[in-house]
A and B are shown apart, each in its own frame.
Chain A
Amino acid sequence: MMDDDFVTLTDSQKRARRSRSVAIGLALFALVVVFYVATIAKFGPAILDRPM
């Protein structure tokens, strides 16, 4: 397939996509932190103390 068949993003579209990507990355990372910390807060440190 030739390059002409694909869209070339404008500078503003690239900037907007980068801005959205950073925000999505930060939001997903925050979600991981929230659930990790909340799990320990809810169940206590004992949740990490499991027999191997």
Chain B
Amino acid sequence: MALVNKSALDNAGMRMSEATAGDFLELLKPRVMSLVVFTAFVGMVAAPVTLNPILAIISILAIAIGAGASGALNMWYDADIDAVMSRTRGRPIPSGRVQPGEALVFGLVLSALSVMTLGVLVNWLAASLLAFTIFFYAVIYSMWLKRSTPQNIVIGGAAGAFPPVIGWAAVTGSVSIESVVLFLIIFLWTPPHFWALALFKSGDYGRVGIPMMPNVAGSLSTRRQMFVYAVLTAACGVAPWLLGYTTMGYGMIAGGLGLGFVYYAWKVLQMPDSDQVMKPAKSLFAYSLLYLFGIFAAYLADAVAHRAFVMSGAFI
């Protein structure tokens, strides 16, 4: 028995929740969160100074929770279109497992908690960047850009590009060119990554009236833009080496991965308009994930190797 008045339930449209902890975890978009954690971690390790390991773990945790909170707010706002799209109709809100109000409160509480934790325990620059990222993703992207312009994911991509900058700021208390380059890699990578998905899911986006680039500008224009962004991403990927922030080893790996990215984008550009299966677009989408992971893993390995080299030199 629950101490809830039954007539209040009947009259006010209230209901006893059947949402499990797993449903709330799903609101945090764990797969996106894992990429955020990884890129933020690289930003922290690449920084020229070190942070107390306990505070570093707490920083990563706060950034992950903040990113998850913005995901929950996004799911709350987009529940209407998520219910129609095949890719998203199984999410906790459209499937009825979590009520919209529950997701909203969950997202707001975690947003405040993550920002305050990062501010109080680490520094307020990192906290304010995290707060701005949550605001940018939930309000600027989800509420405004997503439904109003085909440039939605181009501008909105900034939200996903901030984590390495936040990680860097958590350690150094500042924002530098190195972290801005990491930001640019993710920012430029976002359009070809998302538009590859939008190409083979254009029917879904069209049904709910989201002005994704393929639905507004057409397939060919989108594929041309994807190719340009892929070239820019590949160029930006080797920038840390060209600017002297990493070794040639990173430069070679980034160059190879970048050539692969351009190759897959080229295959998409060559794809005929009549192609219904869109295998090249699906391949580019899969490769783009591998590319981003590879670039940041190479940057991480380079930073760790450099640090180990410096430390071994200090003991000689």
Q: Across the two chains, which residue of chain B brings its CB closest to A20?
A: B21
- Neighbouring A residues of B24 by C-beta, 8 Å: 20, 23
Nearest chain A CB to B109's CB is how many angstroms away?
11
Identify B54's interface contact among A5, A17, A38, CB under 8 A. Answer: A38
Q: Across the two chains, which residue of chain B brings its CB closest to A41?
A: B54
- Inter-chain contact A9/B52, CB cutoff 8 Å: no
Please, what's the 1-or-0 string for A26-52, where 1 marks a CB less than 8 Å from any CB in chain B? 000000001101100110000000000
Q: How large is the interface on A (under 10, 10 to 19, 20 to 34, 35 or more residues)?
A: 20 to 34
- Inter-chain contact B4/A7, CB cutoff 8 Å: yes
Nearest chain A CB to B71's CB is how many angstroms away?
17
Identify A20's interface contact among B7, B20, B54, CB under 8 A. Answer: B20
Please, what's the 1-or-0 string for B40-56, where 1 marks a CB less than 8 Å from any CB in chain A? 00000000000010110
- Inter-chain contact A6/B55, CB cutoff 8 Å: no
- Inter-chain contact A41/B21, CB cutoff 8 Å: no
- Neighbouring B residues of A38 by C-beta, 8 Å: 54-55, 58, 121
- Inter-chain contact B54/A6, CB cutoff 8 Å: no
Please, what's the 1-or-0 string for B82-120, where 1 marks a CB less than 8 Å from any CB in chain A? 000000000000000000000000000000000001000
Q: Across the two chains, which residue of chain A brings its CB closest to B18?
A: A16
Nearest chain A CB to B85's CB is how many angstroms away?
26
Q: A6-B4, A23-B24, A34-B58 are in contact. Are A13 and B18 (CB under 8 A)?
A: yes
- Neighbouring B residues of A41 by C-beta, 8 Å: 52, 54-55
Nearest chain A CB to B55's CB is how many angstroms away?
6
- Inter-chain contact A22/B2, CB cutoff 8 Å: no
Question: A residues near B, CB below 8 A?
Answer: 3-9, 12-13, 15-17, 19-20, 22-23, 34-35, 37-38, 41-42
Query: What would 14 A/B residue contacts be, using CB atoms closer than 8 Å?
Result: A3-B1, A6-B3, A7-B6, A7-B16, A9-B1, A9-B2, A9-B16, A12-B18, A13-B16, A17-B16, A23-B21, A38-B55, A41-B52, A42-B52
Question: B residues near A, CB below 8 A?
Answer: 1-7, 9, 16-22, 24, 52, 54-55, 58, 61, 117, 121
